[in-house]
Structure 1
């Protein structure tokens, strides 16, 4: 059984959804990032960047346990292990991979910054809010244009690219987005959200997560605690 060290965040939900889609037995181990669990030595041993999610698979590719961090790498690993949600054909595979990289390098970081400056930052900085809200809208526009001509982000089949992107768009309102501007993306979003495995995946650890309201939590997540050598 795969152990998933995670929390109810978009990056955590990517892996939860993939495991649910593939029907792989797993155990979700909560890492409360608001309380600082990500800095514990046992977690840093498998996730040196102190970020969730991370996994430990006792049945690795050579029959020995393997641990992995970074959600994109985990999706690729699970796709390889199960033979699902990543095409075998070379052209089709790279079509999917480019959209996975688009999520890892663009959608996640930029929407995360939009969320931070619009919701969590202690000072409201107009320049930052405008900068990242505009970038969020630009990225939504890129995906909307793609989905005007493709059923899924990676092509004609549902893939790890869709699994990676979907959880990040669930907070569209906090990112300053109006779905009226992105009808093709909205149709895709609604379709993905109705998949039973997706509905199960986004509920994993959701009952553990609480709103970030205190200065201590902000210090752990965004302040000096991030920059200590643990």
Structure 2
């Protein structure tokens, strides 16, 4: 029989690698003196590596969990803000909330676009526009919107008032906006059934009459602007040299 010391000294160098799951652990064959049998002992260095790797994994998982929690809190805060902006109160899931927000934004953009349509004032050209807004089939009335854009002159408003009063229709509303010496006037005009509205030919007659009336106002404005420019900036008169024909003829005969 070999002594325990001899077996321990010779068998302590015997080692082998055993794999446990995805990691490889180095083990050494030693003799246990108390039990009187050979046992496998794991390497202390590999054990330390396993412990360190597990601690790093736990730290990474904890950091990921904290980041995910903060992300969910931010999303819930944004969703709560959106719920507060909607006119509809009540609980709804995220998909319904986002769909309602998209619909509300589209409606707001459409409303803003309609509100800003009448605010545009061309600065370089004069314009006359006439369009039909709606018609009532019951009584045959017709609602028209006409606009005039031009330079401001002192007699502009008086000319507009006289022209509108001469039209055989009722003026419902008039809006005047100015910008940098330019003026835009928008009229809402209605023609009742007494004026025989309803047919396309009659509507075209209304359009042409209103357009011609506003165009006449533009002609007066253009003439007034040209007259004002001539007064403020008069052109220099050309110098004309007069030749004395008697002197020229006498000079020719003397030669």
Please report the TM-score for the alignment, with normalisation by the length of structure 2: 0.18
Higher share of residues assigned helix = 1
Which of 1 and 2 has higher RCO (CA within 8 Å, sep 6+)? 1
Higher share of residues assigned strand = 2
Please report the TM-score for the alignment, with normalisation by the length of structure 1: 0.19
